[in-house]
Structure 1
Amino acid sequence: MKPRVLLLTPFPPFPPDNGGVLRIYSIVRRLKEHCDFSLLTFVRRTGERRFQQHASAMALRSLFSEVHSVPKESTDSSHPPPGLPQIAREWYSDEMAVLLRRLAAEGRMDIVHIEFLQMASYVDAAGGVPTFLTEHDLSHLSLFRSYFREWTGLRRWGQVGEWLRTRRYHGAICRRFDRLIALTPEDRGRLAQVVPPEKVSLVQTCVDLERFQFRPEEEGTPRPADMAYVGHYPHYPNEDAALWLCRKVLPRVRARAPAASVLLIGSAPTEPVLRLAGPGVEVTGTVPDIRAHLDRAKVFAAPVRLGFGIKGKVLEAFARGLPVVATTVVARGIPEFRPGMDLLVGDTPAAFARQVLRLLEDPGLRRRMAASAREKVVRHYDWRGSCDKLLALYRVAAGTRVPEASPQ
């Protein structure tokens, strides 16, 4: 018997145009021959995104045996349990809780796997079915590295009460789950301070090595763009990174390389990101395939300053053959990559610009770092290893520890 897994997500995990969605989609696609997946998710009935989300839900029927949806608008007239922080209140729906209880009572699944903290309050509707929670980003635990726009700058001081409420909620809700899934060793350590360590498992985000084949810069064939960055820009850390790169770092790079250019790739650029477009700064918007755009750049910049977790876009750059300059926030999530050997690290605009210039002025260094990082990403971030781990956890939870071939 295959483990029957109900995934509970805040939005349909398609198209895979941002890190969290790409992770869910990649795992389900690789494990669908070994697990019977169903999906319970919100979709919008009104507004600009309603057609895209309904099309996404339809597209997922090839991966999920059942797709159940609840209108996101149902959260507007619901009655959240008292004490929920804003992140949970905004995603609480009486209709969603009733539907999950019904599915659980009908014995339709062996496991309920909830994705993202904003959906964690539904753990109590699982009706005794084993529950998993994937923590995609633990920065809600930090007032200074949070991914919430409202918790940045001077505004954060008005959010101290909400931050404390979120921290208390996080600890209490995590203890109700049977299994927590962490994305990095650093995150696993943080979660192990909240629940018994044996309840926390590391299942890293990885990269599709077949799709992102090694295409390093060829000697004597210069690439037109100096730096590239990839982001889903409604996620505030990505907007912040793009603004910091273009406003703070790029002028320092141009002081020594006046023609230096930046390529901002990725979905749904916000108004502040769109306003960055100009001479030497291209904002592509959503693209059908980021590989062709990565192949235009000499260096991948990862100037993310907020959040925790692992940045899949950096793994894709490593796999494709781009040397990377990153902040310490990014480097902490990928401890196998050694600063100075596999990537360069800078945390101030001046330090980041110096590292970019080192690579721009030394094609040999770019090629050496690209080759070293590719070797590391192949060794440590192949999806087969992470899928094997998650499948083993599913089988234990479902009581179906039947030997099967490893997922490809």
Structure 2
Amino acid sequence: MADGAMKEALRITVVTSHLPHVATSGGRRRELELMERIADQHHVEMICVTKTFDEDRQLVRRLRSRCHGIRLVPTDIQAPEVPPIGGDARPWHVARHASASASAEIARGLRRHRPDVVHVEGYYLMQHLPGGWPGPILLGTQNVEHALLLQRAELTIDRMRRKMLLEQVLRTRTFEREAWRRAESVVAVSPEDRLRMLTDEANLDVHVVGNGADHEPTLPRGVGTEGAPVSTTGPPLIAYVANFDYWPSRDGAEWFLDEILPRLRSGTTDIDVAFVGNTSSRTLADRAAAAGVRVVGLVPNLDALYRSAHVVVCPIRVGGGVKVKVLEALRAGAAIVTTSVGAEGLASAQREVLNIADDAAEFADAVKALVSVPRQQRGSGGPLPTWGAAAQELERCYQMMIDRAGASRSSTSRS
């Protein structure tokens, strides 16, 4: 995979907030696919500052054969996903990932491993790097977090909650910008996120490393619900695939239930709607059941689901980057209705085969139009991005940082 400029294996320490395996979310899928390819060519040590320590400890053996070393360190507190009102003055993401033991373990690991590059996945983990670390630091960002919080605040009706969220926007923006400046290079998932960063910090070195679509959207044996909601008979299947434990996905589900589904059922009652993916929210499950929507959980083979669904919906209103689930559905030739947020980061050819609607009535009308005609296999809008190309771009980022660091040392020694 490495190009001609890559003459020897690099030593890379990756600091992440979860074990990428099992890939039950788009973020985990991204980290898994990229790190597998990078570890094929380079010496990768991974340190996971995890909020799900016990769960990850059971799964770590599945990934150990793919990396040269993996260490799990628990966060100090099990902070709620929804930011509390008042309390900690730090940004919510930073507080959730605080861990004195992680800071100590990362410092020990860097001294022991002596990496050529430190890759930190998430601005909130930069707090754990020792001050004055002399080597190149690459900061991976899957979202511009303060922009997501601002989107969230704009959707919030409760005045006190909105005020709290706007305070979080300011705190998060300050910490994010400090993290961006500390890193030698920053990686964004989409051109839109890169532009957001450069609008805030014009002198950043920001590279786009997108998501790929050439993975098999399956889970290992024993993970997921046996018996996916796949049927070629019966009412048309409308599927929303997401990690519903992630707030933007859950907000999309609630918007679908409250605003889109009633319009969809008006004159089109004979449909089968399924929410497919990770969820621990009893409230969402109960609301969905009351609306006649099945909450299926994890499905072992998503490709079969995409190919049998009449319509795949992505009613997400908060987000950034490139949605892995949209890429998966495009690859399967599914008919897709999404918001402009769900279409972000895609090439124009891919966007042309999507049905994009940000208004609930328009979204429902787009789904109705697709349900009213026989299911058809659709195109993907041309070649889809690959994980191999994304990993090569990430490698180039590593090498450019190392080359710059070497040139800087040479210049300093000459002076």
Matches within 5 A, 1:300-319: 300-319=312-331
Counterpart for residue 134 of structure 1:
140
Q: Percent identity?
A: 26
Matches of 1:85 and 1:278, distance apart in 2: 36
Amino acid at match of 1:314: V
Matches of 1:352 and 1:60, distance apart in 2: 40
Offset at residue 326 of structure 1 (A): 0.6
Counterpart for residue 103 of structure 1:
109
Offset at residue 224 of structure 1 (A): 4.5
Counterpart for residue 240 of structure 2:
229
Counterpart for residue 245 of structure 1:
256
Counterpart for residue 386 of structure 1:
390
* Aligned CA distance change for structure 1 residues 328 and 274 (closer, same or farther; 3 Å): same
Matches of 2:203 and 2:353, distance apart in 1: 31
- Within the candidate set 26, 49, 66, 1:63 is matched to 66
Offset at residue 319 of structure 1 (A): 0.5
Offset at residue 394 of structure 1 (A): 1.8
User: Relative to structure 2, which stretch is displaced further, 114-123 or 308-317?
Assistant: 114-123
Counterpart for residue 170 of structure 1:
176
Counterpart for residue 22 of structure 2:
15
* Aligned CA distance change for structure 1 residues 123 and 288 (closer, same or farther; 3 Å): same
Matches of 1:83 and 1:283, distance apart in 2: 37
Residues 249-272 of structure 1 show CA distances to partners (whole Å, capped at 9, x for unaligned) of 112111121112211100124123
2:48 counterpart SS class: strand
Q: Which runs of 5+ in 2 are unaligned?
A: 1-7, 80-87, 219-231, 405-415
Matches within 5 A, 1:210-289: 224-275=235-286, 276-277=288-289, 280-289=292-301
Counterpart for residue 215 of structure 1:
none
- Within the candidate set 34, 37, 44, 1:37 is matched to 44
Offset at residue 303 of structure 1 (A): 0.3
Contact residue 228 and residue 263 of structure 1 kept, 8 A: yes
* Aligned CA distance change for structure 1 residues 327 and 14 (closer, same or farther; 3 Å): same
Counterpart for residue 187 of structure 1:
193
Offset at residue 13 of structure 1 (A): 1.3
- Within the candidate set 356, 359, 362, 2:367 is matched to 356
2:312 counterpart SS class: strand
Residues 299-346 of structure 1 show CA distances to partners (whole Å, capped at 9, x for unaligned) of 11010001222111111011111111011111233242465x311111
1:330 counterpart SS class: coil
Matches within 5 A, 1:367-386: 367=377, 370-371=378-379, 374-376=380-382, 379-386=383-390
Residues 216-275 of structure 1 show CA distances to partners (whole Å, capped at 9, x for unaligned) of xxxxx6675431111111101111111221232112111121112211100124123211
Supply the RMSD in Å over aligned alpha carbons.
2.7
User: Relative to structure 2, which stretch is displaced further, 2-11 or 330-339?
Assistant: 330-339
Establish whether residue 72 from structure 1 lines up as the match of residue 42 from structure 2: no
Matches of 1:75 and 1:245, distance apart in 2: 29
- TM-score scaled by length of structure 1: 0.83
- TM-score scaled by length of structure 2: 0.82
Contact residue 150 and residue 169 of structure 2 kept, 8 A: no
Matches of 1:307 and 1:153, distance apart in 2: 19
User: Relative to structure 2, which stretch is displaced further, 345-354 or 389-398?
Assistant: 389-398
Offset at residue 17 of structure 1 (A): 0.4
User: Which aligned runs of 4 or more in structure 1 are off by greater than 3 angstroms?
Assistant: 73-76, 123-126, 150-153, 194-198, 209-212, 221-225
Counterpart for residue 83 of structure 2:
none
Matches of 1:84 and 1:397, distance apart in 2: 30
- Within the candidate set 325, 337, 344, 1:332 is matched to 344
Q: How many residues align?
A: 373
2:213 counterpart SS class: coil
Contact residue 223 and residue 297 of structure 1 kept, 8 A: no
Contact residue 315 and residue 339 of structure 2 kept, 8 A: yes
Amino acid at match of 1:191: M
Matches of 1:107 and 1:126, distance apart in 2: 17
Matches of 1:34 and 1:398, distance apart in 2: 16
Residues 337-383 of structure 1 show CA distances to partners (whole Å, capped at 9, x for unaligned) of 465x311111121110011111112337x44xx21xx243xx24121
Q: Which runs of 5+ in 1 are unaligned?
A: 77-81, 213-220, 401-408
Offset at residue 133 of structure 1 (A): 1.0
Matches of 1:360 and 1:201, distance apart in 2: 40
1:73 counterpart SS class: coil
User: Relative to structure 2, which stretch is displaced further, 281-290 or 305-314?
Assistant: 281-290
Amino acid at match of 2:252: A
Counterpart for residue 56 of structure 2:
53
2:343 counterpart SS class: helix
Offset at residue 396 of structure 1 (A): 2.7
Residues 6-32 of structure 1 show CA distances to partners (whole Å, capped at 9, x for unaligned) of 110112111110011110001111222
